[in-house]
Amino acid sequence: MSWKKRRGFKELTFVDDALRSYLSLFDPISEYEDISVYDAIGRVLPHDILSPIDLPPFDRSAVDGYAVRSMDLSGASEGSPVRLKVIGLSTTSAPFEGRIDEGEAVRIDTGARMPEGADAVVMLEFTDRKGEFIEVFKPVSPMENVSVKGEDIRKGEIIVYGGIPLTPYDIANLVNIGMYRVKVIRKIKVGIVAIGSELLEYSDDLPLGKIRETNRVMIKSLLKDFPIEFKDYGILPDDHNIVREVILRGVSENDLMISIGGSSLGEGDVVTDIAEELGEIVVHGVALYPSRPVLLSRVDNKPYIGVPGYPVAAAISTKVFIQPLILHLSSIQGTYIECIVRGRLTRRVASKIGLRHYVRVKVKMGDEILIEPVYASGAGVLSSLSLGDGYLVIPEDVEGYDKGDYVDVILYRKIIR
- Average pLDDT on 58-66 reads 97
Q: Return the CATH architecture of domain 2-31+186-329.
A: 3-Layer(aba) Sandwich (3.40)
Superfamily of domain 60-147: Molybdopterin biosynthesis moea protein, domain 3. (2.170.190.11)
Identify whether the C-beta of residue 114 lies closer than 8 Å to the C-beta of residue 146. yes
H/E segment holding residue 66: strand 65-68
Q: Is 281 helix (H, G, I), strand (E, B) or coil?
A: strand
Task: Answer with the residue of higher pLDDT: 262 or 62.
Answer: 62
For residue 50, give the DSSP letter: E
Is pLDDT of 375 > 80?
no
pLDDT band at 3 (very low <50, low <70, confident <90, very high): very low
Instruction: Of 48-57, 350-359, 370-379, give the lowest mean pLDDT range.
Output: 370-379
Provide CB contacts within 8 A for 152, sequence distance 6+. 55, 56
For the whole model, what pTM was predicted?
Answer: 0.85
- The pLDDT, as a whole number, for residue 5 is 40
Identify whether the C-beta of residue 11 lies closer than 8 Å to the C-beta of residue 285. yes
Q: What percent of the chain has pLDDT over 70?
A: 95
Is pLDDT of 1 > 60?
no
User: For 309-334, what is each residue's pLDDT tens digit?
Assistant: 999 999 999 999 999 999 999 999 88
The two domains 2-31+186-329 and 340-411 share their CATH topology (first three levels equal): no
pLDDT band at 210 (very low <50, low <70, confident <90, very high): confident
Instruction: Of 18-27, 382-391, 399-408, give the lowest mean pLDDT range.
Output: 382-391
- Average pLDDT on 20-25 reads 97
- The pLDDT, as a whole number, for residue 206 is 81
User: For 76-133, what is each residue's pLDDT tens digit?
Assistant: 999 999 999 999 999 999 999 999 999 999 999 999 999 999 999 999 999 999 999 9
CA 265, 270, 273: angle at the middle one, nearest 5? 90
What string of DSSP letters covers 121-138? EEEGGGEEEETTEEEE-S
Half-sphere exposure of 248 (CA within 13 A, CB side): 11
**Strands 256-260 and 302-307, bridge-based pairing:** parallel
- The pLDDT, as a whole number, for residue 4 is 41
One CATH from 1.10.490.20, 3.40.50.300, 3.90.105.10, 3.40.920.10 for 32-55+151-185? 3.90.105.10
CA 98, 103, 108: angle at the middle one, nearest 5? 50
| Residue 221 backbone phi and psi in degrees, to 5 | -70, -40
For residue 87, give the DSSP letter: E
Identify whether the C-beta of residue 281 lies closer than 8 Å to the C-beta of residue 297. yes
Is pLDDT of 265 > 70?
no
Looking at every residue in the chain, the average pLDDT score rounds to 92
Classified by CATH at the fold level, domain 340-411 comes out as Beta-clip (2.40.340)
Q: How far apart are CA 156 and CA 236, in angstroms?
A: 54
Query: How far is residue 49 CA from its own chain's centroid?
Result: 19
User: For 213-242, what is each residue's pLDDT tens digit?
Assistant: 999 999 999 999 999 999 999 999 989 999
For residue 73, give the DSSP letter: G
Tell which residue, 209, 185, 182, has the closest CA to residue 196.
Answer: 209
Half-sphere exposure of 354 (CA within 13 A, CB side): 12
pLDDT band at 2 (very low <50, low <70, confident <90, very high): very low
Is pLDDT of 263 > 70?
no
* Amino acid letter for position 152: D
Identify whether the C-beta of residue 134 lies closer than 8 Å to the C-beta of residue 12. no
Q: Where are the domains of the chain?
A: 2-31+186-329, 32-55+151-185, 60-147, 340-411
Q: What percent of the chain has pLDDT over 90?
A: 84
- The pLDDT, as a whole number, for residue 6 is 40
* Amino acid letter for position 79: G
